[in-house]
Amino acid sequence: MPEYEKAMRPEDITRLFVERSNAGDAAGVAALYEEDAVLAYPPGERTVGREAIRELWARVLVNRPRFAPEPPLPTLVSGDIALTATPPKDGTGARAQVARRQPDGSWLRLLDQPEFVAPAR
């Protein structure tokens, strides 16, 4: 696997995700996740594990979607666990991720919920 820039702050993961997605680099996107990470995508499903996440992003990125950075909400950190979130511009309600600090001090996503839609009232 190529050597990728590491996320040295939880907030770096979102920037790196946008850069790698826009470059069409599914392996680079997957490298932002822990080996056994859980991604709640496609909607209503779960993709489990870095390799499955890489395969999913390879299928998504073949259409060359463009991602724009979204301003983050304040990150919550407790020890080696962090919660990051962004209010998306596409109206999906919210995005939230749990990241964990790695032994080298970098951060990887453990849980990723890219779409929260407000419940119908």
SS3 56: helix
User: Under DSSP, is residue 28 helix (H, G, I), strand (E, B) or coil?
Assistant: helix
- Tell me which amino acid residue 44 is: G
User: Of 13-17, 59-63, 65-69, 78-82, where does mean pLDDT reach its minimum?
Assistant: 65-69
What is the band of 83 on the pLDDT scale with cuts at 50, 70, 90? very high
Q: 99-109, pLDDT tens digit by residue?
A: 999 999 999 99
Contacts of 75 by beta carbon, 8 Å cutoff, 6+ apart: 9, 10, 11, 82, 83, 84
Residue 10: how many other CB atoms lie within 10 Å = 23
Q: Give the model confidence (pLDDT) of 19-65 as tens digits.
A: 999 999 999 999 999 999 999 998 889 999 999 999 999 999 999 99
Partners of 41 in the β-ladder: none
89 vs 9, residue with greater confidence: 9
